[in-house]
Amino acid sequence: MLTLLHHPLCPRSRYVRLILGEYGVETRLADEPFWERRDDFLMLNPAGEIPVLVADSMPPIPGAAIIAEFLEETHAPEDSEDRQLMPQSPGQRVEVRRLASWFNDKFHAEVSGPLVNERVFKRHMTKEQGGGPPDTDALRAARHNIRYHLHYIGWLVRTRDWLAGDRLSLADLAAAAHLSAVDYLGDVPWNEDEMAKNWYARVKSRPAFRPLLADTLAGIPPARTYADLDF
């Protein structure tokens, strides 16, 4: 049995949950208040960040990209190429990894990281841990930045069926995971790009997405259309 140390609204943790869901890997979820820097948690991941996947007779697996590579190498359905989230050809693998990193790193730095940090994590933190009221400049910058990312998604799916090519891949899950955390907070301007919205509706309707749509945080209810497949 696998255990994922996560936070329900951490975008990178959501990415891992989607992969586990697509591959049908049963996993126990454990909320980790990473900002407390618990000794037991730092033993698992000295970097002090979530997500961390804990598997039997394995070292702890830290970080969304490393967990994704691990799951590809150990849990991808070998008999069904249609269900694989990482294509086989070197060129396609580059494109999938490029876009997964685009969302896990760049979109996270410019949009989902600041929004979730300012609006969710900081509520739980003491002043010493970095808590306090949201930084309105950071929120404004993130809400500005998300527009060009939506247009980028729209541009990609105008030329391809899915973000990285003609099949669903890790790239779609990464993008949708980060957007879903922002969407929970009501900060995705879906009217900016119709194609991006249509693509998200397709990913959102997958069975693997259902557990994410059922998340609710105490004190921070989801945006009105967060769980609607027709939004």
Q: What is the CA radius of gyration of the chain?
A: 17
Closer residue to a second copy, CB minimum distance, 47 or 214: 47
Least spacing, CB of residue 66 vs a second copy, in Å: 5
DSSP, collapsed to helix, strand or coil, labels residue 179 as helix
Closer residue to a second copy, CB minimum distance, 102 or 121: 102
Site of interaction with a second copy (CB under 8 A): 46-47, 57-59, 61-63, 65-66, 69-70, 73-74, 90-91, 93-95, 97-98, 101-102, 106, 152
Backbone dihedral angles phi then psi of residue 134, each to the nearest 5 degrees? -60, 145
Least spacing, CB of residue 75 vs a second copy, in Å: 10
Backbone dihedral angles phi then psi of residue 105, each to the nearest 5 degrees? -110, -60
Least spacing, CB of residue 100 vs a second copy, in Å: 9
Query: Two tokens at 18?
Result: 């989607």
Contact 86, 80 (CB under 8 A): no
Least spacing, CB of residue 181 vs a second copy, in Å: 20
Closer residue to a second copy, CB minimum distance, 64 or 181: 64
**Cα–Cα distance, 108 to 86 (Å, whole number):** 21
**Cα–Cα distance, 31 to 121 (Å, whole number):** 13
Least spacing, CB of residue 103 vs a second copy, in Å: 11
Closer residue to a second copy, CB minimum distance, 90 or 219: 90
Closer residue to a second copy, CB minimum distance, 30 or 58: 58
DSSP, collapsed to helix, strand or coil, labels residue 124 as helix
